[in-house]
Amino acid sequence: MDPAKAVVFGPIVIFFGVFLLLIIGFLAFVVKLLLKAKASAWVGEVVEKKHKVIDDFDEGEQHRFIVVFKTTEGKTLNVEVSHDIWEDYKVGDKAEKKAGTLWPEKLSE
């Protein structure tokens, strides 16, 4: 390769190489988090329901609905859910999250 071309294209190749490595690292991190979430399994009881309003200057307000579970092992888990699912849960309800699923299912009363 001509040295003049190497001076021009060398930094471009290095930049895109580093950029590609960052993207691959980020995607690997997301996949790792999803696999970890799917692998977990627990049974718990709803101990609290939270509704947070976040002021987003671009889109106005964003509503976050969180159901707090206390597992049979004593752990406290915050699970962000949709408004409909948040409305469906009541404090004291039991739920089970099975391995291989992303969301807990409400156990019949």
User: Do the beta carbons of residue 29 and residue 23 sit within 8 Å?
Assistant: no
Q: Are 66 and 80 in contact (CB under 8 A)?
A: yes
The end-to-end CA distance of the chain, in Å, is 73
pTM confidence score: 0.70
pLDDT digits (tens, 9 = 90+) for 6-21: 788 888 999 999 999 9
pLDDT at 10: 85
pLDDT tens digit sequence for 29-76: 999 998 888 888 999 999 999 999 988 777 788 899 999 999 999 999
User: Any residues with CB less than 8 A from the CB of 94 and at least 6 apart, and which?
Assistant: 43, 44, 45, 46, 106, 107
